[in-house]
Amino acid sequence: MMASVILAMTRTVSKTGFRARLARHQTLVRYGLIGGAAAIIDLGLFFVLFTLAGSSELLAHTVSVASAVVFSFTLNARHNFKTTDHTALRFMSFVLACFIGFLAGYGIILTVAGGFEDAVLGGNIGKLVSLPVVFVLQYILNSRITFRQGRAP
């Protein structure tokens, strides 16, 4: 009996602690969810263009990233950071942060792909490897510059 009470209390504390951490980091969590959806768009378009259509890594990466950027900016501005001011400046700042991520991602794709005999497999694995690095880099830039409250970027 006592063990079940202690176990129930532990579960309650764990859930409360987890919920409290989620509440403190809700912007990061939403950024991750929006980023996850953008990554699906990015990966899907990259796969279709590079693997199925036979385009170059650069063309596939450019089209897939550009599509994901527009999607991500729109949702982050409206629903995550809830900014409505200086939209054009914020979009330019967001695009610049994404361009920095684009360059980092392309560098990772080329580096990883160079280690594979099969260029298609290497390019797709490189794209997957690049995503967490680009996520962290862009979150730091966008949360601290692009969507900073009270001032234009």
Q: Coil, strand, or helix at residue 144? A: helix
Mean pLDDT value across residues 105-130: 92
What pLDDT is recorded for position 65? Answer: 84
Residue range 16-70, pLDDT digits in tens = 677 777 778 898 899 999 999 998 998 899 999 999 999 998 899 899 989 999 9
Long-range contacts, stretch 71-79, CB < 8 angstroms, 24+ apart: 71/37, 71/38, 71/41, 72/34, 72/35, 72/38, 72/98, 75/34, 75/37, 76/30, 76/31, 76/34, 76/142, 76/147, 77/147, 79/30, 79/34
Prediction pTM value: 0.71
What pLDDT is recorded for position 103? Answer: 94
Summary mean pLDDT of the chain: 86
What pLDDT is recorded for position 15? Answer: 56
User: With bands split at pLDDT 50, 70 and 90, how would you rate the model's confidence at 5?
Assistant: very low
Residue 146 main-chain phi, psi, to 5 deg: -60, -50
Mean pLDDT value across residues 122-129: 92
